[in-house]
Structure 1
Amino acid sequence: MRRFLALGAAALLAVSACSVGAGTGSGDAEITFLTFETPNLTPAYWDAAIARVTGKTPGIKVKKLVAPTADGRTSYAKQLLQSGQFPDVMIAVDSAGFAEAGHLYAWTPEELKDFQFPAANPVRGKYYQLPANTQTIPPIYYNKKMFADAGITTPPKTWAELVTDAGKLTDKGYPPFTIGGGKDGFPSSMILSGLVSTEVYTTMPDWLTRRRQDQVKFTDPAFQHAFAKLADLAAKGYVDKTSVSRDYAATEQAFLDGKGAMYPMGNWFAANADAKKHDFEVGVFNFPTEDGKLAVPAYTGGGMIVNAHATHLDAARKFALAFQLDKDQLDASVRADGLFPAIKGYTPPPDAGPVFKAGYDLYAEAVRQNAVVHAFRWETADDGLLPGMKDKVDQAAQDVITGRRSVAEACAFLDTEWAKAG
């Protein structure tokens, strides 16, 4: 099986790589850069980004690689490692596993000095991933016209209000939630991520650290209580069970086409909400909490990791830092993917869209109130799930939504898979 994966990765690599950048001389250092594509981060975006950065860092030529799915980039990086083709630079690939095995370069304090949260995502006391962006995961985007038609004048702040509003939308003939899954997985677990973050993490912010120490389990009452709220939405028909087979791009488009009133998704959706055509105004509100007290799930990270054994290590490090710190590139990432750059002194471009600005203001207020919590499922390194468990969380969410498993069975499944992963 391992040999099959390696051969498959080699074949895929051969057809997905292309050289991009400003390298012009035979002495240029060529590095490989693993990217991924989404409705926001298109091939054109990556080509322009690479050209923009290499244009300011002469002597470097970049060969772009593309992961087969947006959420499968970490598993793809593992396949490339197994086949002897580990990329020189990777973006938004979880450092866990790679770092402990000695495959990644550890960033120095000097290299991290321009980042707002240099101590994010530690692996055994060292830092292997540039903490480049903060993402709120998930706020809830909503169709303002549908809300108004259903008589909802104010976005919900409590979970009870959210459930009531979902009933009002249903009575009006509007599907309350737009969700998906398919090959991407994570759209199925967005509501679960919000529930665990705002309920479990607000009382036990180090829950995952304790899970790694076997002090808590998924079958514990607190986790099951949060998970049960997703099951309740599905039981009431507020979450469409058939939608879990719909991939990420189709899920986003379904919301923009007016096929659902609410879309729980990371703040990156704001870029397309501002850019893509739709015939309604998009609003955004924080994921509701049990008591209405502000708690905003967020993750800071998602940046570059560098192959410690890269042939041109200095060039790889230089490219990675330039990519993450260049103001023009940061502005481009805001426009394309709605990211919140976690760089000291950074301010978004004045032409950022209204949905982005609304989400950014919600996050800024949470920071002011010290109300930011970890975003369950999206953490990485020592603060995150064990390798491979993100897919299991997605599967558990899908199983509960479709009724294949009860909440108790899904939580027991997660504990069993955790034991295997450990």
Structure 2
Amino acid sequence: MRSIRAAAVGAVTLSLALAASACGGGSSTSGGSDDSPKTLTYWASNQGASIAVDKKVLSPELAKFEKRTGIKVKLQVVPWSDLLNRILTATTSGQGPDVLNIGNTWSASLQATGALLPWDAKRFAEIGGKDRFVDSALGSTGAAGQDPAAVPLYSMAYALYYNKQIFADAGITQPPATWAELVADGRKIQAKGKSALGAEGSNLSENIHHVFVFAKQHGGEFFTADGKADFTRDNVVAAVKQYVDLMAKDKVIPTGDAEYAQNQSVSDFAKGKQAMLLWQSASANLTSQGMSESSYGVAPVPVQSGTPGFGTQVDSMVAGINLAVFRNSHNLDGATKFVKFMTSDEEQKILNTAYSSIPPVKAAQTGAAFDSPSNAVLRDTLAKSAAALPQVADESQFETAVGTAVKDLFADVAAGRAATTDSVRAKLEKAQQQMPAK
């Protein structure tokens, strides 16, 4: 999901527990559509550099949909910092939009509330069939063995963005392929007076995305096969420590980044203050901040050794946005038509081009916009070396608990305290204790 968001913190467990009895078909007077089949309310996530940018991108497309169908779409663009809590409130009250964007990592958690419309084979057939979509995107639409809770809308992957001039000034001729090479390059860059690598140490979602990848590269999992939290196994502890050590031991991440949570590292990179950035589908964000595409390169995220692939060579989570329908919408037919429109080949090309993301619809991945060097890296990553975050009902709590543990570890390092194996394990043990009992 989009990394500009901060993971929502709140009474998630309570919300999920209440939701099953609250999503059967209440009134939609608070933000949802009325009973008219000519109206839909759509909560869009903030994908662009600002809410104003999103409205500029989406408004002409929604007008196009209205002209074709006669259905008016009432658009609300919701910041990532508010989106999850607003969705959870809607699931408990039964008062929400007809259609909404969700971060794909939330799919299983929101699926467990029962508030979202399941996409069975018959409903998928109404939008052209399930086989239109890329497998990696479908893997982040809900728990295995259940009908998906949503439909893929935008796909993204992490990549390493690097400043070509800073690299040249430091005598670096190619981007690092392994973490050891990244650290070595970082020291060369620092010797020239520039910061090496940016991070968002206070952004819970960013923390989760990165430690998930490190855990995969260490052969670790945060959950057992039956969905039970297991945060303190040795390879998971080692993975989290390696990520935090980029600041604590290797010192390629500035300690000031421990406080970053709202795109500050992207801004630093765009302004030439740092040489490298680990981010998902960042091109549109960088362009909006005045950085030309010719001034930076894009490469796969490093691995421990060798080249990216599946298993311990995973170098990205499957990032992206899914489109969901509230089960209690008074206009399910119109909502289905809207999902069909938004996932059509034509709209997929328009919207994913605007957001520098990759269409999860196979037929829409052709064209110059998606064959560019940067998008080619992202597309290959999604196809060859990305894995979905755990599709478990407690995923939202996982993001909050472990994301906070990593945030606290970065804060300790910034305050001059050591990040040891024991201290990492203790933070993860605390996070595990916050998870619902199984």
TM-score by length of 2: 0.77
Judge conservation of contact 2:200–2:207 (CA < 8 Å) in 1: yes
Judge conservation of contact 2:269–2:277 (CA < 8 Å) in 1: yes
Match status 1:88 vs 2:98? yes
Judge conservation of contact 1:304–1:320 (CA < 8 Å) in 2: yes
Residue 358 of structure 1: aligned partner: 373
Residue 63 of structure 1: aligned partner: 74
* Residues 307/190 of structure 1: CA separation in 2 closer, same or farther (3 Å cut): closer
Deviation at 1:410, TM superposition (A): 2.2
State the alpha-carbon separation in 2 of the partners of residues 257 and 18 from structure 1: 41
- In structure 2, give the amino acid aligned to 1:58: T
* Residues 237/174 of structure 1: CA separation in 2 closer, same or farther (3 Å cut): same
Deviation at 1:61, TM superposition (A): 1.5
- Measured on the aligned residues, the alpha-carbon RMSD in Å equals 3.2
Find the residue that maps to 1:413 and give its secondary structure.
Answer: helix
Find the residue that maps to 2:324 and give its secondary structure.
Answer: strand
Match status 1:321 vs 2:321? no
Residue 9 of structure 1: aligned partner: none
Match status 1:245 vs 2:224? no
- In structure 2, give the amino acid aligned to 1:164: A
Judge conservation of contact 2:208–2:403 (CA < 8 Å) in 1: yes
State the alpha-carbon separation in 2 of the partners of residues 305 and 209 from structure 1: 26
* Residues 17/119 of structure 1: CA separation in 2 closer, same or farther (3 Å cut): closer
Find the residue that maps to 1:314 and give its secondary structure.
Answer: helix
Judge conservation of contact 2:40–2:73 (CA < 8 Å) in 1: yes
Residue 339 of structure 1: aligned partner: 357
Deviation at 1:90, TM superposition (A): 0.9
Deviation at 1:388, TM superposition (A): 2.4
Judge conservation of contact 1:95–1:380 (CA < 8 Å) in 2: no
Residue 410 of structure 1: aligned partner: 427
- In structure 1, give the amino acid aligned to 2:254: D
Q: List alignment gaps of at least 5 residues for structure 2.
A: 1-9, 16-29, 310-314, 414-418
Q: 1:128 aligns with which of 149, 156, 163?
A: 149
Judge conservation of contact 1:71–1:186 (CA < 8 Å) in 2: no
State the alpha-carbon separation in 2 of the partners of residues 358 and 163 from structure 1: 24
Judge conservation of contact 2:49–2:288 (CA < 8 Å) in 1: no
Residue 141 of structure 1: aligned partner: 161
Deviation at 1:143, TM superposition (A): 0.9
Paired residues for 1:121-270 under 5 Å: 121-123=141-143, 124-136=145-157, 138-180=158-200, 182=202, 184-197=203-216, 199-200=217-218, 203=219, 207-208=221-222, 210=224, 212-214=226-228, 217-235=230-248, 236-267=250-281, 269-270=282-283
Deviation at 1:162, TM superposition (A): 1.1
Could you report, residue by residue, the CA deviation over 1:153-194 in whole angstroms, capped at 9, with x for unpaired residues?
A: 111111111111111111111111122255x54345554343
Residue 110 of structure 2: aligned partner: 98
* Residues 87/224 of structure 1: CA separation in 2 closer, same or farther (3 Å cut): same
Find the residue that maps to 1:127 and give its secondary structure.
Answer: coil
Residue 285 of structure 1: aligned partner: 299
Residue 13 of structure 1: aligned partner: none
Aligned length, in residue pairs: 384
State the alpha-carbon separation in 1 of the partners of residues 342 and 425 from structure 2: 44
Which deviates more, 139-148 or 272-281? Answer: 272-281
State the alpha-carbon separation in 2 of the partners of residues 85 and 258 from structure 1: 45
Between the aligned residues of both structures, percent identity stands at 22
TM-score by length of 1: 0.80
Residue 27 of structure 2: aligned partner: none
State the alpha-carbon separation in 1 of the partners of residues 223 and 262 from structure 2: 30
* Residues 334/41 of structure 1: CA separation in 2 closer, same or farther (3 Å cut): farther
Judge conservation of contact 2:32–2:95 (CA < 8 Å) in 1: no
